């Protein structure tokens, strides 16, 4: 009797694996191979105008990825920092640490936004109870404020984002 049960279980697992492989191949064929013309079209659209039709579907998600990746690269390869006018002395000051802190704050906020878009985190809502927020890995108040601060810093320093 136990031999029958184990053979049934092994047959079932083999069938499940075959079914899973079939669906993977099916999804690959339908999503990648049959849609290759769309992927090529979107590639040229991004080259021509900077975004494609599929990016407009969730434009906020696309922009947050672009801004995040751009900020990370800007911080890594920066060749200079913007000058700020010292109000006391009237002399321009090039403060590298201050600029790195500003970039870090913006990067942190847009990283949190990308985590929400990828499904790793959920948005903060004060109406949710604490156990729900913990179960769904929701942002806390501090992280929500970091996102708001990153937008404010982006707005304030938008013209200073150069390399």
Per-residue pLDDT tens digits for 106-148: 999 999 999 888 877 777 777 777 777 777 778 888 888 999 9
Residue 43, pLDDT score: 92
Residue 26 sits at φ, ψ, to 5 deg, of -60, -50
- The backbone region for 154, taken as left when phi is positive above 0, alpha when psi lies in -120 to 50, beta otherwise, is alpha
Residue 35, pLDDT score: 81
Segment 42-78, tens digit of pLDDT: 999 999 998 999 889 889 889 999 999 999 999 999 8
Rounded mean pLDDT of the chain? 85
- Give the integer Cα–Cα distance in Å for 108 and 110: 6
Residue 9, pLDDT score: 67
Cα 113 from chain centroid?
6
- The backbone region for 81, taken as left when phi is positive above 0, alpha when psi lies in -120 to 50, beta otherwise, is beta
Higher pLDDT residue, 39 or 133? Answer: 39
List of residues 6+ apart from 53 with CB closer than 8 A: 41, 42, 45
């Amino acid at each position: 009797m136990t031999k029958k049960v184990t053979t049934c279980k092994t047959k079932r697992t083999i069938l499940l694996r075959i079914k899973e492989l079939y669906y993977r191949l099916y999804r690959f064929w339908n999503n990648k191979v049959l849609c290759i013309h769309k992927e090529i079209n979107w590639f040229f659209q991004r080259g021509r105008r900077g975004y494609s039709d599929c990016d407009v579907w969730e434009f906020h998600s696309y922009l947050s990825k672009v801004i995040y990746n751009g900020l990370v690269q800007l911080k890594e390869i920066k060749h200079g920092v913007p000058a700020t006018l010292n109000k006391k002395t009237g002399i321009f000051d090039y403060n590298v640490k201050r600029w790195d802190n500003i970039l870090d704050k913006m990067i942190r906020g847009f990283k949190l936004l990308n985590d929400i878009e990828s499904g790793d985190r959920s948005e903060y809502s004060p109406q949710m109870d604490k156990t729900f927020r913990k179960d769904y890995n929701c942002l806390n108040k501090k992280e929500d404020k970091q996102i708001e601060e990153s937008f404010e810093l982006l707005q304030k320093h938008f013209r200073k984002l150069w390399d």
